[in-house]
Amino acid sequence: MSASFILTKGTSPLLISMPHNGQAIPDDIALTMTESAKKVADTDWYKDRLYDFAHTLGANILIPKYNRYVIDLNREPTGIDLYPGQNSTELCPTSAFDLTPLYLNEQQPGEKEIQHRIKHYWQPYHDALNNRLAEIKQQFGYAILLEAHSILSHVPRFFEGQLPDFNFGTANGKSCSDKVITLIQQLDYSPYSMVSNGRFKGGFITRHYGQPENNIHAVQLELSQRTYMNEPTNEYNEILAGQVKPKLEALVKSLINISPPTS
């Protein structure tokens, strides 16, 4: 365990990263934020609870302590826009998904503060991610990274209408081998809907670490929160979660048991 993340080492070539699962906000940053921001509404809620079976299966799991409102671990540290022409949030977000401000007047983080957050919150997570992937690859000859995310099924800022249930992103097929893509597409997700490289094609982590030519394969799953929560409240629904968990478990098992996933 680190001051800013928890890494649980497993026994398989699969690493599950949950970069938006953290809920904490450092006291000094909280002082500059609005009351609504402190509720961290845009958290990828309960991902650790939803994937509580994964470590038993052998998966490595990496979870941050701090919330995406502090710094978005799935963004390029230089601030490059991952979705040009579409509405998106910044490395250090200044507004929530519903466009309400996160900071009190004139309290938004400046460049010095952003660099501080990169050093103390962003970099340690990525060092752990990079190092563990390297260790896994050394042990197995390859590594598979599953980026576990979730989001409300209706977020007008980012997409129209209702989001499909399972949204896979592979940077349009560039972040993993064809074998991994075929495996994902052949799984049975019914009665849930599934799409690949739709609105969500994979964030910085998927695009940066997914290097199939280097035997590191990355896939992002953006799961609609309607599959396991009572929307729009942040309540975990045991019945819904119990129905979707077998689909997630089948995915995790398949990624763990895949033979060397070269193209």
Delimit the domains of the chain by residue range.
5-257
DSSP the chain: --SSEEEE--SSSEEEE-TT---B--HHHHTTB-TTGGG-TTS-TTHHHHTTTHHHHT-EEEEESB-TTT--TTS-TT---SSTTS----SS-SB-TT--BSB-TT-S--HHHHHHHIIIIIHHHHHHHHHHHHHHHHHHS-EEEEEEEEE-S--TTT-SSPPPSEEEE-TTTTSS-HHHHHHHHHS--TTS-EEESSS----HHHHHH-BGGGTEEEEEEEEEGGGTEETTTTEE-HHHHHHHHHHHHHHHHHHHH------
89: pLDDT strictly greater than 70: yes
1: pLDDT strictly greater than 90: no
Pick the more confident residue, 226 or 81: 226
The pLDDT of residue 260 is 81
Q: What is the pLDDT of residues 4-26, one digit of tens each?
A: 999 999 999 999 999 999 999 99
* CATH for 5-257 (1.10.287.70, 3.90.1150.10, 3.40.605.10, 3.40.630.40): 3.40.630.40
Q: What is the pLDDT of residues 204-229, one digit of tens each?
A: 999 999 999 999 999 999 999 999 99
